[in-house]
Structure 1
Amino acid sequence: MDSSDDVSAYVQRLELFRRHDYERDQMIQAYKEKCDDYNNEVESRRMWQTKANNFCKEVLALNQANESNPFVFAVIDGDGAVFQEDLLKRGAEGGAEAGYLLWTEIKNYITDAYPEAASQDWNIVVQVVLNMDGLAKKLHASGIVPNTPTERTLAEFARGFGRAQPLFSFIDVGSGKESADHKVRELLRWMVRVNQCKHIFFGPCHDAGYLPVLEPYKLDSTVSSRLTLIETTPAEEGFKSLGFHKINFKSVFKSDKLPERVVVERQPIQRLPPPTVPASQLPPPKQLPVQHTVSSNSDVSLKTETPVELPRVLSPPSNVNGGPNWSTLTKSVAPKAIDISSTKKSGSRKYYLLNADSQRVDEPLPKNDPSAEKRFKDRSSRYGNLCNAYHLHNNCKSDDCQYHHGERLPPGELLVLKQKSRGIPCSQGSDCIDVNCMMGHHCRWLGACNHSWCRFGDYHDIDSKPRLKVFEDGSTQIVNKL
């Protein structure tokens, strides 16, 4: 073998060694990458496991918070649900007994309704919403409770009611039905969303005005299953159709309404007999024409005159001793004109809209005509601001109104005025129940509002989808089902 062959063999062996070194390096590199991937997976798994453990702890804490301090809530309209007379008459002592009886009735009901739950640990919260002064006067007029500083009063009853049960209270909202209604509605809407509230007792079944508040919950099983109506006086028909369970606490509340007006017996007035006067001394009766109004088929009142005799006036006899005579008693009879003309029937019924949360929502208005907007702007520049009450409701009651009345607006300009009125927030907000209110009850852009300062403040997160129509007579109509 020559030297060239030896060199070639060494070169081949060197290349083989280099190839083996390269393969070894590639294997080592792949091994390192696998190790890095493994380490990353370990770290990632540990991170996610840590997060999962933290989330489990948070969920457990939330569940424990939801299950902690469970309670039962009862809201009662005290103006309609009146306590038993024998309890009211005993002042603070009767209030304490009323609180205990009501607590016992609710406790027994909850124990039967939730046999598998630890209901003995549930607190019972009761709030009686009422006009204290108005009810006190009504009870005093009915002869049930004195309303004097020195005698037992409704205020003493309320203090005893609250002292005996620390979670029971009377809430005096003053005069005005809207005040009590607003308080009761908001308490109910709040409690149905509180997880710790296990059951709700709702007590204003005497007032059909609360039907729109309860209607959205009729088909919501999560609410209807834990809502019970307290029936004191016979419930209105609308409450019976809701399907909620009803209960009577007869040992606590009266089952009949207080009289609207107390009839006071008066002693009959003794009158002296009329003097006897010969008929020949009586002057002949005078006749006066009296108008009678009769309606014809064409709604035109026809007036006729017929004579009516006036009563004769007796001449007073003279006193035999020359004393004073009796006073002459006269009594005129003025027949009333009776209008029997036919009355026109009203047009379509007025209504307002409520969403699923019993919040008022505004019905969208059509877009304004640009030409009508220009005419309205010219009119406002010429006469000043227009009176909303006059043009929108035709009932401006101000004797010295500072806004322009004038001729009635055409439909296009009337729509412009409605749009402008809708931009003014109603003082009642989403709790307004006035069917004639043309002001705004929430921001028209809702969550899409990009104004840095909006008049409607907190009224941007309202669900604008209508759920109910509420007519002016209190009746309701479902617009969209849940």
Structure 2
Amino acid sequence: MSKALPSKPAPSQDNILAFVHRYNDLMRVRDSTDKLIEGLERALEQETGRLQGELHSCQIDLADANASRRELEQKLSHTESEMLSLYKENDTYKVGGSGGDSGRCAHLGSDAVASFCATCQIIECLRYVLIDGDGLLCWQFQDAWIRQGVEGGKKAANALRSSVARQWADKSRDTQIVAKVVADWAGLARSFRGYDLRDFATGFTQGHVAFDFVDIGSGKERRAEPKIRDNTRWHLRNQNCRQILLGVAPEGSYSGFLEDLFRTDPAARDRVSIIEGGVALTADLKATGANTTRLDRDLFRADKPVERIPVHAVSAAVGRTASPSGSVTSSGGGANSSTFSYAHAITNGTPPPTMSIPLAPNKPSPRPPRTSPHGTTTNIPSPSSPSSPQYQKIPPQQPDWNPGARGLDEPIIVNVAVMDAVKKRKDTDKLCNNHFLRGPCAKGDGCNFVHVYKPNAEEINAIAVLARQNPCTHGQDCENWECIYGHHCPSIRDGVCTHPYCKFDEDQHPPGTKFTLVKSGR
């Protein structure tokens, strides 16, 4: 009988549980791995979509850039071709001068070039008007324009432009007119004492977009003539400049300039003309052979103008000694009051110390006619009495001294009898300086002086002399050329201040001045 084999031992409960735990751990790890893989796949899909979108945009931009580049290359090639044609056309102009215009653009087929050449055709018709204001305004310009201030300047600009335009009204092309007036405003203000010259200059500049009134300052080195000469040479170099009109004074030194210009550039003779006014050209200017142009009569005076001191002479006179002058007695004659200028009161040169000259009984005032507060213009009356009135220049002497930037105040010629009558008014019977010299008094009824009165021109001069006895608060820094007050002591005679109660400071007297009354502080 065979022996029975032993049976395998049954797995214990603990081993089974251990396997279960290990299986559960493995499943948890597998689930975590699956989630990680799913997350990575989602992120990868999102990033891939974004990159594909950017790639598509870049491809579109690249296509646009290539198209734009090709278009710009075509435009550049076309523009270079046009520029080459224009360079050749410009060389043709330089060689051909100002000859015929037909066929100039025949070889240019581009519409853009044709349009450009049409524009050039207009620019070719530039006409320049260069005016020496220091001379022309003094000698030939209508005083009425100056007297009207801003409106007069605008009217003068429009009249000048219209007159120049009519000179070429029969031409087929439009004319562009450019005008420039160069002048020493301060000097002109002295020559046109009493007129609103700065307002006139403003109106002239505002009258047209291509019109300018330029202040070149004062001083010998700043005169208008060099500016006119340099501007003429400059514009002659412009091939589009067809004509230059020069408005110059008869006393200027332009003849030498024109002779030199025509000698070095013979073609300039056909492009430069001199404007003729009321004053005939000097023999020197005529000898240059320059063309002349006479503009409308309403622009420049047609009669012989009043002799005025040129602006540069006015400026230079500040540092010179004026002739001492005592009383001037008139002895009859037929002087016309309309032909007198305030500039007669400015000395020029050094005449004898004392002189007596015959003056007309109806001697006019050295100050221009002025408008009273009531709107009426007062002129100097013609004395009808047989006795000859005496006139005196105040101050009687101009010292050889320059008080500062403004210079010496211009003398005023007064009627001695009228001056005495005005000085005799006392206290509340005195005539108000501000009211009669500058317009309605700002104090109105609060002023203690006389307003209700109509002084004649000689009384106005007397009031002006008395107002000069009061110092201007701005002194030599005063920029108002119509200022009624004094800017230095007007009572100097033979080195002595003759005013016993002079209100001016010591530095407002010439060096070494002696005083009739010693004041405190001196």
**TM-score (structure 2 length as normaliser):** 0.36
**TM-score (structure 1 length as normaliser):** 0.39
